[in-house]
Amino acid sequence: MPEFASAFPKKLRCKLRYFKRICCDEIAGDSDNSFYSNSKMCILQTECDLEKGLEMRKWVLSGILATEETYLSHLEALLLPMKPLKAAATTSQPVLTVAQIETIFFKVPELYEIHKDFYDGLLPRVQQWSHHQRVGDLFQKLASQLGVYRAFVDNYELAVETAEKCCQANTQFAEISEVRKNLNYHRILQFTLLYKPVDRVTRSTLVLHDLLKHTPTSHPDHPLLQDALRISQNFLSSINEETTPRRQSMTVKKGENRQLLKDSFMVELVEGARKLRHVFLFTDLLLCAKLKKQIGGKNQQYDSKWYIPLTDLTFQGPEETEPLTIPQVPDEELDAMKVKISHLRSEIQREKRANKGSKVIDRLRKKLSEQESLLLLTSPSMPLRLYNKNGKSYSFLISSDYERAEWKEILKEQQKKCLKTSSLTSMELQMLTSSCVKLQTVHHIPLSVNKEEDESPGLYGFLNVIVHSASGLKQSLNLYCTLEVDSFGFFSNKAKTRVYRYTTEPKWNEEFEIELEGSQTLRLLCYEKCYNKTKQNKEDGESTDRIMGKGQIPLDPQTLQGKDWQRTVIPMNGIEVKLSMKFTSREFSLKRMPSRKPMGVFGVKISTVTKRERSKVPYIVRQCLEEIERRGMEEVGIYRVSGVATDIQALKTAFDTNNKDVSVMMSEMDVNAIAGTLKLYFRELPEPLFTDELYPNFAGGITLTDSVAKESCMLNLLLSLPEPNLVTFLFLLDHLKRVAEKESINKMSLHNLATVFGPTLLRPAEKDSKIPANPTQPISMGDSWSLEVMAQVQVLLYFLQLETIPTPDSKRQSILFSTEV
């Protein structure tokens, strides 16, 4: 092997370390510059500066167009002899064998197509330039195809070795290289094959760095470019980390055009049991594997469980397919795992601050990884069923509709391109499975243990989102949107717009308030509502509306730091949905304010309201619960799914002004808005229902291990509450128990209800809370605040699980069960 080739890996690693330092600065938010620009410069920056910055975007993009042309010409020169060599390979006197050709030119055609597609997409946008022009989707798509580069880099040593051996052993191939000296072919062969593609990634990463620098945070491109930069940086980092030879367990069978398109950790349901799998989607088949061994990221081994050729895969099973029984893990167990994860993260941070040895931290990280793996295994519950034409079926459990749609979309798209059935011998299957160790793009489960040290822990607080409108539809449809956010690495549905009937330009203009718990991403799905049951999609054993588009944006703490609304657009399959967002951090959103108004009900002491109304339970509580009991008991996600914020504010005003038409208003509103109004009432009480005075005792009592002592303590504390607080709580408690009785329909267990209402009913006023005072610092799940929230949930859950509340005397009995509420 020539000196250049042997020295290349070391040079490459040094260069990648340099680029990694640059990219990490950008991914970390370039904290000093970003904070300064977001807090001071945004105010002082003139229109002229913005214009200049936006103009710089064009020059940066013009530069990459020029370098793309050069790069494509290098790839074309490299591919020029490939066709005649392939043609000769099928004759009686081949220059090279098919296997040798595929090895030397491995992934080069795919790289050419990827960059040709990128160039063809970018060129017209730059030619028709305006400051509103968007290019982020092109860079995001380019970054998503880095799996091809991964395979290319893994193969480069073998490619050079094969080319050198062929030159020495085959005079015809050596003559081809010699004849092309004028084109500098031999140099291009070595330089491009070894260096140009990876150099292209590093250059593209620097361009992303420059583009972000000149792209305002309010520009729709900003989140897409951030996402592309993060993917590129992770790719470069993964190459930099792997310094051992990678060739031994990499190669798939040559002569077949097979590349990895997507891989992910997933939960498979096998004979009623959950199994953690790593799933790999190739251009011609889907492979399900089990990770057998993992020690510090090295010595990984995969065991193949099954594979399906894409030509044999279908989502529709036979008519007699049995319904899927999904083993559910109790919410209490999932919550306990989250508490352990919070404790471990907090402990790791403490050890770091104390500068303890790496062995202690490594041991804690191992425990954290075990807990997060367990949470990954037990959390998902949405089925994705796949069928093989030979009759076999396979079932995965997914955490959200977005993820399920993502897998279905890419599988169906690839099936259209796949014309040939791929049947593997046992040896070929073993080789393919071994190659997954080097081809994989997802190296860790998607939870907090795998975050970089300087990566944001996510946002805690409330995100107000206005879903304005959608455009780009080609036909009139009945449309609605749902919003998902992540917590502990998993996504859940948080809000749903109304159905906008038969239009190409729906204008919802609906506002939602979504609680965030370490959230980093907002996802939006656009559905067509299907009213005709005969046309409903019955895949996965249940009727569903059709997903028209989906998209996501990162929740960047720096971008959302200000108090102003941030407008953005989410592009999805030709449809564009316009949003506005505003974030309120937890220490502000959960602040209880002392009562300052003599009238109204919101923000007024409960004793004042009940005395004025001459009732034992406030009118607002009775009205909301009555309406929910009338038509909301079977509403999926009642109390968890957000109501429209404008409807909630309208009801708040009606109750505060004693509007006589409030009952009519409620009958015409979505039941989630009524549930949201009730939660808002309890949240805005100047003192929690459980009172500031007794809160520390409730928090201490729930931790008692002796069941008899705990029951005595908790009941005595409950009966010590002021009469309006106690009667209102018991009135609400009975209602919540009736909601939980419908759990099989509304999906709201006692634990789910405790999670929603615990902090609302128990959270003390600011002076008694342990919330950090600095509003610029995101609150980590490892902080005491999160553990405090868990304790509040446990207190409410304790009372929800009691069959009855024993009472000490007849007087208390008459208070509790009075019909005068």
pLDDT tens, residue by residue, 636-686:
889 988 888 889 999 999 999 888 889 899 998 999 999 999 999 998 899
How far apart are the C-alpha atoms of 757 and 763, rounded to whole Å? 10
The residue with greater pLDDT, 749 or 818, is: 749
pLDDT tens track for 203-235: 777 778 878 878 888 888 888 888 888 888 777
pLDDT value at position 19?
41
The residue with greater pLDDT, 115 or 559, is: 115
And the tokens for 190?
A: 């070595």
Which residue blocks in 632-706 are alpha helix, DSSP H?
645-656, 662-668, 671-683, 695-701
- Segment 704-722 shows an average pLDDT of 89
pLDDT value at position 536?
47
The residue with greater pLDDT, 552 or 6, is: 552
HSE value, Cβ hemisphere, 13 Å, CA-based, for 204: 31
pTM: predicted TM-score of the whole model, two decimal places: 0.59
pLDDT value at position 577?
94
pLDDT value at position 199?
66
pLDDT value at position 40?
41
The residue with greater pLDDT, 47 or 64, is: 64
Of 231-245, 380-394, 415-429, which gets the smallest average pLDDT? Answer: 231-245
How far apart are the C-alpha atoms of 602 and 161, rounded to whole Å? 76
pLDDT value at position 507?
92
Three-state SS for 386?
Answer: strand
- Which helix H or strand E contains 431, and what residues bound it? helix 426-439
pLDDT value at 787 more than 80:
no
Nearest of 492, 513, 588, 586 to residue 781 by alpha carbon:
586
At 483, which amino acid appears? L
Beta pairing, strands 285-295 & 298-309? antiparallel
Three-state SS for 469?
Answer: strand
What's the pLDDT band for 556 if we cut at 50, 70, 90?
Answer: confident
3-state helix, strand, coil in the chain (%, to 5): 50, 20, 30
Burial label, 295 (beta-carbon count in 10 A; 0-12, 13-18, 19+): exposed
The residue with greater pLDDT, 771 or 409, is: 409
What's the pLDDT band for 562 if we cut at 50, 70, 90?
Answer: confident
- Segment 595-607 shows an average pLDDT of 81
How far apart are the C-alpha atoms of 737 and 386, rounded to whole Å? 38
The residue with greater pLDDT, 332 or 797, is: 797
Which residue blocks in 214-320 are alpha helix, DSSP H?
221-241
How far apart are the C-alpha atoms of 752 and 741, rounded to whole Å? 13
The DSSP secondary-structure symbol of 396 reads: E
Please tell me the total number of residues recorded for the chain in this structure. 821
pLDDT value at position 54?
66
pLDDT value at position 92?
78
Which CA distances in Å does 349 have to 445, 458, 739, 784? 20, 16, 40, 12
And the tokens for 319?
A: 């008519």
What's the pLDDT band for 447 if we cut at 50, 70, 90?
Answer: low
pLDDT value at position 818?
44
pLDDT value at 719 more than 50:
yes
pLDDT value at position 7?
34
The residue with greater pLDDT, 234 or 375, is: 375
pLDDT value at position 444?
65
pLDDT value at 102 more than 80:
yes
pLDDT value at position 12?
41
Cβ 503 vs Cβ 492: under 8 Å = no
Of 321-330, 398-407, 639-648, 743-752, which gets the smallest average pLDDT? Answer: 321-330
pLDDT value at position 540?
47
pLDDT tens track for 118-154: 999 999 998 888 878 888 888 888 888 888 887 877 7
How far apart are the C-alpha atoms of 580 and 559, rounded to whole Å? 12
Residue with tokens 């610092």: 777
Nearest of 498, 465, 505 to residue 668 by alpha carbon:
498
What mean pLDDT, rounded, does the chain reach?
A: 77
pLDDT value at 26 more than 80:
no
pLDDT value at position 362?
84
Secondary structure (DSSP) of 18-64? HHHHHHHHHHTT-HHHHHHIIIIIHHH--HHHHHHHHHHHHHHHHHH
What's the pLDDT band for 769 if we cut at 50, 70, 90?
Answer: very low
Q: List, in sequence order, every beta strand (DSSP E) within 271-363.
A: 273-282, 285-295, 298-309, 313-314
pLDDT value at position 640?
86
- Segment 679-695 shows an average pLDDT of 92
Cβ 512 vs Cβ 494: under 8 Å = yes
The DSSP secondary-structure symbol of 670 reads: -
pLDDT value at position 757?
92
- Which helix H or strand E contains 480, and what residues bound it? strand 477-487
- Segment 343-361 shows an average pLDDT of 79
pLDDT value at position 50?
57
